[in-house]
Amino acid sequence: MVKYIIDASHKKAIINKNIYGHFSEHLGRCIYEGIYVGEESDIPNVNGMRSDVVEALKAIKVPVLRWPGGCFADEYHWKDGIGPKEHRKKMINTHWGGVIEDNSFGTHEFMELCRQVGCEPYINGNLGSGTVQEMSEWVEYLTFNGLSPMSELRKSNGKEEAWHVKYFGVGNENWGCGGNMRPEYYADEYRRYQTYLRNYGDNQIYKIACGANGTDYNWTKVLMERAANYMDALTVHYYTVPGGFETKMPALEFDEEAYYHTLKEAAFMEELLKKHIQIMDQYDKDKRIALIVDEWGSWYQTEPGTNPGFLYQQNTMRDAMIAGVTLNIFNKHADRVRMANIAQMVNVLQAIILTEGASMILTPTYHVFDLYKVHQDATLLESFISQTEVGSDKDKVQDLYESASIDDEGNVYVTICNVDVHRSKMIEGTLLGYTACQVEGRILSERMDAYNTFYNSHAVKIEDVKCLNLEGDKFTVEVPPCSVIQLTFTGE
Ligand code: AHR
């Protein structure tokens, strides 16, 4: 029996629902085909957005969506994507496959997508190749209701009322594709650009500074030292890339050694966050500034026969485990981590949805977001599970990752991942400070390399937990090998 303690009397931070956020870039078939098919398409759509995809996104309560990039953001000139579509500029998507970008999906379309999904927009501005004026005018175009050149332009494009936009990123990966800058230089540029992101009416811009490339802790230090007073949040990007970027591994064919290697890399998120947070704490003791992980997820070889620039990869139970472990880690750091955006929403990297023509499938990763949505805006509870190491001769990782929360109605939610591919874990839980009268569970459990296809779209799916008992303040549950489980306790 594995001991697990949840203390409902020890409430911690609110788990910001935006931890369950997503990212959609003009990359491969993410926006075009995956989300936007245009009003004239035979694929059922509302104002050009595929209805099947929008419905699936609503079902997992997507809270926030980042757009238009990624590397694309620092080459994107937003005025190319407004006005009559036939007059919009065509350009080359230099980063991603060199394909033609016809700008038919622009600001109005993105805001319409957010409206349909019911999520908040997170717009990433262009600092790398755009001007201060351009970024400033984008905010004016989006959010100003009075008389001004940009609000008039918006009105002439059919949108009378300004939108409400809170989250605004000032550049992306400016240490790399966003301009190859040094942190000192970016910090100064950030200070300059953010000055002109104005708050119009009651619209308050939440300013997000570009953060580090994974373990570049110096970037965080320099940004905090030089620009902390000018930001609401600082980002970090961390991908799980088994084998490294030079020798990426396949998404589908992998052995146990590769599985554990991958999970170890994913679980490194814990150490990564701790180190960045430690630095942030030195400059911001009250934790005013959020840490946002606005790109995370697995990155493998692209599927054979697909455009290498499109980053299309399949998604197995291994990816579900990455998502489950990572989201539990984010929950545990909810006092500082207030948004995260998995890369990317449809057809790119660790996608939650894959499409092929008119067909759509939900990946194992989608199901994890479905299981974990209960944590959105709930309060993190103190919890502890005893872990043991599992893995291969080369790579060891802890077997169990969990987090627990309580919502306003007094329901307690628990999510547990069993990373072990061979052994089931019998868990004996104790719920302190809470009288539970009922418990229900949902589970995702399959072979590590199981995945959904367009011919067998339910090979990996959520089922009810069978082996689950509650007696007084104790519960027992069996967590099978390679599985993600979610429990809901009702009581008081
Ligand atoms: O998500 C794919 C790419 O990864 C993004 O465009 C970039 O920001 C990162 O390097």
Structure tokens at 408: 């306003």
Mean pLDDT value across the chain: 97
Q: Residue 228 pLDDT more than 90?
A: yes
Tens digit of pLDDT for each residue in 153-192?
Answer: 999 999 999 999 999 999 999 999 999 999 999 999 999 9
H-run or E-run covering 152: helix 149-156
Q: What is the pLDDT of residue 467?
A: 85
**CA pair distance 167, 265, nearest whole angstrom:** 29
% of the chain surpassing 70 pLDDT: 100
H-run or E-run covering 317: helix 317-332
CB 175 within 8 A of CB 219: yes
Report, as residue numbers or ranges, the catalytic residues: 173, 295
Domain 2-8+381-491: assigned CATH number: 2.60.40.1180
Q: Is the CB of 70 under 6 A from ligand 1?
A: yes
Output the pTM of the full model: 0.97
CB 346 within 8 A of CB 391: no
* Chain region(s) in the chain for CATH 2.60.40.1180: 2-8+381-491
Q: CB burial class (10 A; 0-12, 13-18, 19+) of residue 244?
A: exposed
* Ligand 1 atom closest to the CA of 311, numbered from 1: 2
**pLDDT category, 107, cuts 50, 70, 90?**
very high
Q: What length is written for the chain?
A: 492
Cα 71 to middle of ligand 1, angstroms: 6
Q: CB burial class (10 A; 0-12, 13-18, 19+) of residue 283?
A: middle
Q: Report the sign of the C-alpha dihedral through residues 386, 268, 171, 121, in that order.
A: negative
Mean per-residue pLDDT, 251-268: 97
Domain 16-376 fold: TIM Barrel (3.20.20)
CB 169 within 8 A of CB 208: yes
Q: Is the CB of 71 under 6 A from ligand 1?
A: yes
* Chain region(s) in the chain for CATH 3.20.20.80: 16-376
Cα 69 to middle of ligand 1, angstroms: 7
**CA pair distance 199, 196, nearest whole angstrom:** 9
Cα 89 to chain centroid distance, Å, stands at 30
Q: What is the pLDDT of residue 482?
A: 98
Tens digit of pLDDT for each residue in 52-76?
Answer: 999 999 999 999 999 999 999 999 9
Query: Between β-strands 49-50 and 45-46, what pairing exists: parallel, antiparallel or unpaired?
Result: antiparallel
* Ligand 1 atom closest to the CA of 344, numbered from 1: 1
Residue whose entry in the numeric block shows the structure tokens 């009003």: 39
CB 99 within 8 A of CB 32: no
Structure tokens at 331: 């929950």
CB 170 within 8 A of CB 197: yes
Please, what's the b/e burial string for 159-191 (b: 16 or more CB within 10 A of its CB; e: otherwise)? beebbebebbbbbbbbbebbbebebeebbebbb
CB count in 10 Å sphere of residue 154 = 24
* Ligand 1 atom closest to the CA of 71, numbered from 1: 6
Query: Between β-strands 167-170 and 436-445, what pairing exists: parallel, antiparallel or unpaired?
Result: unpaired
Protein residue closest via CA to atom 3 of ligand 1:
70
**pLDDT category, 389, cuts 50, 70, 90?**
very high
Q: Residue 466 pLDDT more than 90?
A: no
CB 358 within 8 A of CB 348: no
Protein residue closest via CA to atom 6 of ligand 1:
70
